[in-house]
Structure 1
Amino acid sequence: MPAPMQEPDLARALGRFIAEAFRLVALDPLRPVLCEKTPSNAQYVRRLQLLLPESRVVVMVRDPMAVALSHTQRDWGPTDPVEAAAYTAAYFRCWREFAPHAQNCFVVRHEDLVAEPARTLSAVIRFLGLRQDAAWLRCASDEIRPSTDRVGALPDVVAAQMRARLAEEAREFGYPVVSGAR
């Protein structure tokens, strides 16, 4: 019976297996990019980078108040805005703890993408090491729209409770703690 593999060797072997599995199911196996956007990946991104050390991670963040409210509209999220704020804070905390220590991680703010789509998308493309395509960039830039602001419709007490739950994460990602205040 062979000796058990050491953790780094096992991680490399499993990473090769994962990369090959994704290559085999890709629509175009010659494309070097896999895009997977499940929000819960925040919990697993450190493991994914251990398994796939050459991978690059683009983290898209948005005002945590808006994110929390969007969770209340999903089948899988909390329906109470204050509970949704706690849920959102947990995901933001995962990204906050991961991003500064990660290799190959690029944080993009939704608001920057909306304000300057061409500049922001160009930065993402450069980070990913992809070829710039001016026609694609123009087309993609034209499709980007701001999110609907639902924060202003909240009762003041609910908004204040949400802000309290999200304050640390909002600050860490450069969002004002009083985001959405009237």
Structure 2
Amino acid sequence: MNDRSSPPERSDMPPFFIVGSGRSGTTLLRSLLAAHSRIAVTPETHFMKRADREGAQSREAPEDFDAFWRDLVAWSRFREIDVDPAQVLARIKAQGRRDFRTVFAAMLEAYGETTGKPRVGEKTPGHYRYLDRIFAWFPDTRVLVLRRDPRDVVASHLNAPWVTDQMGPPQLCAPIVRRLRTYHVAERALLWRQANGEILADAESDPRLHVVIYEALVDRPEKELRRICAFLGESYEPDMLAPRENSTISTTDTIRVQWGDWAGTHRTRAAASVSAGSVGRWRERLSPDEVGLIESICGPAMARQGYRPEMPRSPRRFFGQALLHVGLAEDQVRQLIARGKAQLARG
């Protein structure tokens, strides 16, 4: 166990990142790497999305840093990484810069210091959308890209609270299209295609990226972890695969009370011994029409990556794709109404 009373050995290596389509095994990989004596991996920070809300696409720093900082440290994602805001702010001040990159780096460095480990990784699956900025901020970084069968990815999403909550009993003013299971099957399949078939399609050819196939990781964990450690420039440690049932590693959204039961189960599974039991579970959880819809949306990309389609092209693909357009239109109308109400409230 690391002695937190003394500062960790400093590492000049930049942070690394774990990305990929959601429900592809990023939490499992985080748990395995965090068992390394030198590696700490944060919960999901979603920092890039937060920075975009403050204009990071067009400027290097917040217009009003003090307001940005107050909102950031009050944010659930910041509180979840469990670092002292004063410690982070001290690092920012020591750099003499208050831009987005410095804030992010200070958060990650503080997390490493808190855990007593010199090497820090960050795990937010959706950060694959920001790789250009990540490489600009951390030119020597390394990125681990998780890849998994889209049918298992979609099946896993359908059991997650961010989907089941939307499909629950109708509530007044709740989105209509998002109550339909077919909509979520199509939406999650489309997100997988965008991630793996478009943004990360050529990940194997970029030396800064290392593709981790979920099915290989759970089938041959030691072999895959040795390759991952070599990519990161770290030595493999057998303890990474030691029994982890008593692990206290946190997972994203554990502070969301309404998701407490799911988060607890998710945390337990992430800490359990590596198992291939979830591979192919889509066969039990998805109907043939749902499988056909996913394969219709993801077909070319999944075939290139070795996932063989098994169903004929489903006529439901037209229904699912139509629902996606209707759902997007409904979201836009709701956003317009919300902005109008906000303007009226401001007078």
Aligned twin of 2:200? 95
Q: Is the 8 A contact 1:15 1:52 kept in 2?
A: no
Following superposition of structure 1 onto structure 2, how do residues 1-150 of structure 1 map, counting pairs within 5 Å?
17=102, 18-26=104-112, 27-28=114-115, 30-34=117-121, 36-77=122-163, 79=181, 80-92=184-196, 93-97=198-202, 99-100=203-204, 102-137=206-241, 139=243, 143-146=273-276, 147=278, 149-150=281-282
SS at match of 1:60: strand
The structural deviation recorded for 1:21 is 3.6
Q: Could you tell which deviates more after superposition, 47-56 or 87-96?
A: 87-96
Shift of the alpha carbon at 1:49? 1.5
Q: Give the CA deviation at 1:115.
A: 1.5
CA–CA distance in structure 1, aligned partners of residues 239 and 308 of structure 2: 35
1:74 Cα deviation (Å)? 2.3
Q: Aligned partners of 2:238 and 2:309: how far apart in 1? A: 37
How far did residue 28 of structure 1 move?
A: 3.6
Percent identity (aligned)? 23
TM-score, normalising length: structure 2: 0.42
Q: Distance in 2 between matches of 1:100 and 1:61?
A: 11
Q: What count of residue pairs does the alignment treat as equivalent?
A: 165
Question: How far, CA to CA, are the matches of 1:15 and 1:173 in structure 2?
Answer: 35
Compare 59-68 and 165-174 and name the one that shifted more. Answer: 165-174
Contact 2:225 2:236 (8 Å CA) reproduced? no
Larger Rg: 2
Aligned-residue Cα RMSD (Å) equals: 2.7
**Structure 2 gap ranges (5+):** 1-59, 61-96, 164-177, 245-271, 312-347
CA distance, structure 1, for counterparts of residue 239 and residue 191 of structure 2: 39
**Unaligned 5+ runs, structure 1:** 1-9
State the Cα deviation string for residues 72-122 of structure 1 (Å, max 9, x = none). Answer: 22233474323321222222232225x245342100101111211110111
- Compared CA separation, residues 16 and 157, structure 1 to 2 (3 A): closer
